[in-house]
Amino acid sequence: VAVHLVWRGPSSKDDQLIQLAISNVRLEPAAERPEKKNVLHGATTESILGKNKLAALTKPFLVHLKNGKTKAFYSYWAEPATIKNLKRGLVSLLQFQLYSGKVVENDVSGRCTVQYQATQGQVTRTKLLETCKASETGFTTHSKVLGVSKKSSSVTVFRLEDGFIKTAEAEETHTLAVNARRSAATKVTSRQTLVLVGKDAGPPER
């Protein structure tokens, strides 16, 4: 992921427009598997995502950050929702604050209450997913018996060096169980890691 500053507010260095570009996309299994059980063996990124989605994923996009918070996200009108959400998830790895406290933020999960714990060189962000407000999708019912119970957690740890994010490691877990049959349950864990690999002079600020 290439990140560079496109614009900075004249009255505040923390008012920034940033461009991000994803390249060299690879899909790999989350864990080592025998070749016969590896569904990705022999597949290319294009064959999995499709030519159009891969092209959309590698198109640059913009995010407006102010004091470490996302104010706006700019991508392409006809972009597939799955690709747009992948990009929003990446943006959430850049959103943080340097002091402890509880705040309300907007990100790929919706509008959520977030708890920050700041120490020397490290910030831990815990998203209280039960507070998130987003448009409902999928199956819904007013009957508790026919419904599902869920338990979710989301924690991101930022490690800082010389004012830059050195690493950002996020883990989000969702457990769902059918109320009428608790043995029918599933657990999904998502992990994201962003590592600073180098710094170069970017184009002139505007």
3-class SS of residue 104 = strand
What's the pLDDT at 139? 52
**160-177 per-position pLDDT tens digit:** 998 789 999 999 999 988
* pTM for the whole structure: 0.82
Percent of the chain residues past pLDDT 90, beyond the cut: 61
What's the pLDDT at 160? 95
Query: Which residues lie closer than 8 Å to 104 by C-beta, 6 or more apart?
Result: 111, 112, 113, 114
Is 160 in contact with 119 (CB distance < 8 Å)? no
What's the pLDDT at 142? 55
- Residue 150: other Cβ atoms inside 10 A: 12
HSE-CB of 44 using CA atoms within 13 angstroms: 6
Residue with tokens 């891969």: 54
pLDDT confidence tier of residue 16, bands split at 50, 70 and 90: very high
| In this structure, CATH architecture of domain 98-198 | Roll (2.30)
127/58 Cα distance (integer angstroms): 28
170/191 Cα distance (integer angstroms): 6
Measured CA angle at 61 (ends 93, 94), to 5 deg: 15
Residue ranges of the domains in the chain? Answer: 1-95, 98-198
